[in-house]
Amino acid sequence: MTMEELTVGTRVDHPRYGEGIISRVNLVAYEIFFARGGKVEILKRNADLTVIELKEDTRPRDMLTLQEVEKVLFHMLDRFNGLNYAVEIGEKWKGGVLDMKPGNPDLKSKEVPIETFFHKIVMVRDRLRVLEQNINAHPGLSDDDKVGLQQYITRIYGSLTTFNILFADKDDYFVGAKS
């Protein structure tokens, strides 16, 4: 079987997108769901595509197995923030307290456990991500409107970079516009 004769369900590997499963076969391309890149259409003659496990074509066209549907569902829930993963606070902040002192000495200060504050920062970040995804997927917005709204979200991320010191993993950091 040549690279142009692969079937739905075949597991493949791509240097940029990682492992994926062919979900649809078109005339000149494969529609593939990748764990890292989501749904991508790749030309059948793409030399970067490597077969991991060949699936024999024993079922009608355009049918997916339960495992393939589960992978697609997992990807979509992850993409639209339906599945959250635990974000760790930096070790040095565990058990700490955020002490907010008002400028007026007659007023009482407020202590908040830093884990509570950190949790709220993570919730803000996650909700910004969902907002960003909803904007990008919205059918009623023009591309110019989407870009304009995306720029505001990027600036919000940039304003929140101060809180990056609280995160244990740099992959969880807020990232604003790069200059």
Are 97 and 141 contained in the same domain?
A: yes
Domain that holds residue 167: 91-172
At residue 116, the pLDDT reads 92
pLDDT at 48: 87
Residue-wise pLDDT for 71-96, tens only, equals 777 677 666 655 556 788 999 999 99
Structurally, how many domains does the chain consist of?
2
Q: What are the DSSP E strand ranges found in 11-166?
A: 11-14, 18-25, 29-34, 38-43, 50-53, 97-100, 110-113
Same domain? 53 vs 99: no
pLDDT at 61 over 80: no
User: Is 80 exceeded by the pLDDT of residue 161?
Assistant: yes
Q: What is the pLDDT of residue 78?
A: 64
**Residue 84 covered by a domain:** no
Distance CA 25, CA 44 (A): 9
Looking at residue 107, the DSSP 8-state letter turns out to be S
Pair (153, 117) in one structural domain: yes
Same structural domain, 101 and 152: yes
* More confident: 103 or 62: 103
Same domain for 64 and 137, yes or no, is no
Parallel/antiparallel/unpaired status of strands 18-25 and 50-53: unpaired
59, 16: one domain: yes
Judgement on whether residues 56 and 119 belong to the same structural domain of the protein: no
Assigned domain for 81 exists: no
139 in the same domain as 97: yes
103/155 same-domain check: yes
